[in-house]
Structure 1
Amino acid sequence: MADTPQPSRRSTGATARKLLPPPALCGFLLLLVVLYSVSYLVGSASGPVAPGMHGTGTAGEGGGTGEAPGRMEDMPGMRHGSGG
């Protein structure tokens, strides 16, 4: 039983190093997290890009609000199906 080889600490450290990602990858991921955080903070501090703009919705041409102030039929010379 005294002949049973014991794992050395050196091989355990090498195995742990193989399981960890390379330091360059860790630094790159940290850089991505920092850049994302800074851009999020700047974006939230600056506010919305277009405060009066609303989503288009899916309820039809009026953007889901029931009103359509900029429809094509309201433009001069735009008639559908009248032939001229």
Structure 2
Amino acid sequence: MADRHGLFLQRVVALLKRCVPPPALTGFLVLLVVVFGVSYAVGSAVGPVAPGMHSTDTGPRDPSDSTPGGDTGDMGDMDGMHSDGGR
């Protein structure tokens, strides 16, 4: 009975050794998590880099709205912009 128990434990240990990633990969992943954690903590402590900067994205626009003096995003007449070298 003790022999079977020892054999079972050996098989379990061998299976676990195959399932565990190599120590170098595990160390790299732990280091990566620590570096990103420290970076996040420092960024949170320091605050925003450009406090006056705001997003210009106001969400989807209604096409019927007019944009007085604003950029509509239209590239205008872009004919002739082909990769054929202008031949």
Query: TM-score band, normalised by the shorter chain?
Result: 0.5 to 0.7
- The size of the alignment, in residue pairs, is 61
Distance 1:34 1:27 in 2: 11
Distance 2:13 2:60 in 1: 62
- CA change 1:38–1:48 in 2 (3 A) is same
Q: Which amino acid in the other structure matches residue 31 of structure 1?
A: L
Q: Spell out the pairing of 1:1-80 with structure 2 (5 A cutoff).
A: 6=4, 8=7, 9-57=9-57, 58=59
Q: Which amino acid in the other structure matches residue 30 of structure 1?
A: V
SS at match of 1:44: helix
SS at match of 1:35: helix
Task: State TM-score, norm by structure 2.
Answer: 0.55
Q: Which has the higher contact order (CA 8 A, sep 6+)?
A: 1
Distance 1:45 1:16 in 2: 41
Q: Which amino acid in the other structure matches residue 34 of structure 1?
A: V
RMSD: 2.7
Bigger radius of gyration: 1
Task: State TM-score, norm by structure 1.
Answer: 0.57
Q: Which runs of 5+ in 1 are unaligned?
A: 1-5, 61-67, 73-84
1:75 maps to what in 2? none
Shift in Å, 1:10 = 2.0
